[in-house]
Structure 1
Amino acid sequence: MAAKWIPILVTFSILYVSQLVFACNDVSTSACLEFVAQNPAMCDDGSCYATLCSRTCHKCALKCYSCGAVTRPENCNTTIECPSKEFECVLSKSFAQDSTEVFALGCALGNVCDNDNGNTMCCSNDLCNNNKTQPTTTTTARKLSVRRENKKKVVRQTAASCSDIHPDACRDLLSSDANICNTTCAKTICPVTCGACKHCYDCDYVSDSSQCTSTRLCQQGENCYGIETITAYSEHGFRLGCAPDLLCSHLASMAVNTFGRKRALAGACCDGNLCNSNLKAVTTTTTTTTTTTTTPTTTTTRTTRTTTTKDPLCQCKGTNHFQVSNECYFISSTHGTRQHGKEYCKRHCGHLATFTDPSQLSAVTHHIYLLKHGTSGSFSDFFGYHQYDHMFVDAMKHTSSHTHPTYIWESTGRTVSSSFLSNVQGTYSDMCAITYSLHSSHIQAASCTASHYALCQLKNH
């Protein structure tokens, strides 16, 4: 009967060693299950998931049930981690001296699993060795195979992507390990959660920065910012959005002259998701002393003023800006669709140009005409000869009549005077408008998806 104890004694020695092994686990089991449900091939070579989900990707030694002698395998609740990946989970049946059937569970090397013994069963999954189907004296030692690799195409996150590949899983990762975003893999697949790219509050004007509810996804290398501004009606407020690093460095050191003295500007960038909602105005305190000659009494009055300034990022300066009749204009740096031009204007503190009468449009196009021919200085290199003849403006088709279409200025809702219109019938589906030509006071119909430069107008702040 003693010979029947050999499998149990071998298993005991292996179980004891395995308890000395350091644990190898997923950073977050729930996150890894969510990742693999989304992408069954995530563990394939070339994917970084294996660094976060070592156990799910079968990069760890197995976990096995471990008991010395139990009457039923399912009664074993103790678990261990095997010494290395060469070990498998084992279930071995034997008989005690009183002929009672007992089971030993643990880790075993391949040579034990390959032993042609009907009382031993090995398997290759975590915690697989307490199966209710026990080996009998008529079974042979066998390995329960498991496919550990899936060669389907791997879905990978690109470095330029600005969205988490699985938002819930990313949150679970960060909850399990507060430092997980220090790893390249986590930043790659969870860029929003890890702050590699971010959303910022984005409003042209709000009286209080906390009132802004519109958001925008920033590009790589941009941070959230907020800055004091003032409207054309002298209303104090704030402008919020995304700004590149270079602009942020200027904001940090910016000061303006107000009431004859230099003061810091309330404006800054922040590096975080939706972090630009609590900007406060800068206040200055001035002291006025009044002395009268009739009495020796000196009266001192203390006055606190909240001072504001125009947004320094919205000034009519630089080689690409020019002023006509107290309005500042600039042209997009590249051509594209109307939406592309509209977004360019907005990013540079402007909007597509509007005009009150044809003479105003004529003055602007004439100015561009002169600049294009190099007679007004620095713009000669910037402008070509004919590529700026047709530029998107703010006008949009309001009624699609073949013979008498009407247009409105999109930003104001005002009707465009018919005196602006030339060849606006165009194609029935052409809903946008462009300048007719340089040195002209007219606009004409154009497709919104055609490629043109945009004529922008700086906002009045």
Structure 2
Amino acid sequence: MKILTLILGIIINTLVLGIQGASICNDHNTLACQRLAAIKPDLCQDNCTARLCPSTCDQCPLTCYSCDSVDHPANCTHTVKCSNLSMMCIATQTVTPLYEKVYQLGCVDKEICSSLFGLISDHPSMPNVRRTVDLLGGCCSSDLCNKYKEPDNVSMPTVQTVQPTSKDKGVSQGCHEIDTEACRFLSQNKGCDKQCVSSLCPQTCGQCSFTCYDCSLVNQPHNCSSKVQCNKHTEVCVAAETHVSGFQSGYKLGCIEKQTCSNLLSRDIDGTCCNTSFCNAFYLPKQTITQVKNLGLPSDCQPNILKAGDCPIGFAKSADTCYFVGRWKKTRTAAKHECESMCSRLAILSSEKENHDVSSFLANVQHTFGYKEEPFYWIDAYRFRRRFNKPWRWNSTGLIINSHAYTHWNPNSHPNIASDGEHCANIGQRNVYGHLHGNGNYYWDHRSCAEHYPALCEYPLGSQP
């Protein structure tokens, strides 16, 4: 028997292996997987959770204590990653060339474990079937399980019983949280980007709620800044006209049951019900839409404004209005569309002061926008094509530019010689001969609508166009 023990010790000495540079295979979050293992019996049969917890589900090569020769397994501190899933952790007695009994720890193939210690069971309740070989030790199938106090007692891992916690009271079935604590751990390290995690933890991952603006009374929806979380399955955001004591009117914003919101607006109350985050602050009240039309702005467009009184992003403020200067030259129609895409319109100049402000603004285009000033820019003035004697008007508002309205036409403008009658207008610092006007005040000039100039877009901040 001693000879057999020595031979087996030599065999173990050559076959207890580890791997250098094994691929990393970790649970998404160890604490989360421990909780899930305690409350979800099919953890490793469910493809979703098995992928999240490969180590817990024994789908990763084990990490074992690894030492060639120690007096006792408890004295081993070095660890190694096994090379494949067929390997187990082992701690076994062996014999040195001087016939000293020592212990060897590391990774070993399951078949070798079976030959040394009998049939190896993966179930904690089933002990190994031992053969009549006088070797102390054993094999086990969890990380770092092969370091123990009693030489012939390799313990199997145990799972702590965990009571599931779920804050799903009042939440629809589609928002059931598998376990609040587990979800807190799973959501770390961008866990909610994984579809599996978001399906297990819809509340934690924001699948059950969205954000609405919430104010009891503001004069305009966009002036509300407080926010509240609403139930995505049962509620919508609302912005609705309301009245308080003293007959003060305004708008109330917040969350509301879907059906309640529909019933509310069916009573001809001005407002909106919407189901995306922050949508209720972008509602344009009916009187505002009328005002927008009077300003010549697109009525179905929400400008990108951070707070009330600000210019849309990309625009620069000048006096009580906002301007944007197009970088590229284009036809008048294309310039008009460029402005409308930003919820604005081509510039309207209603006074000498406004014309002077625009002239100063254009003279600093390079400083404001970072690209060079062009000689001419499209403005909103337009006349219908059929006759030369049709009046000019501001195209976006329809206001006629008559003898009582402010104008600043170039006194040296050439006659109407273009084939299309020159029904469009621009503003520029130079006359038709390319010379500077000299007084710093830019002039208007009629041009063919097919010519190419940058757009001068305007977004008024006040009530006047």
TM-score (norm 1): 0.46
Q: Larger Rg: 1 or 2?
A: 2
Larger strand share, 1 or 2: 1
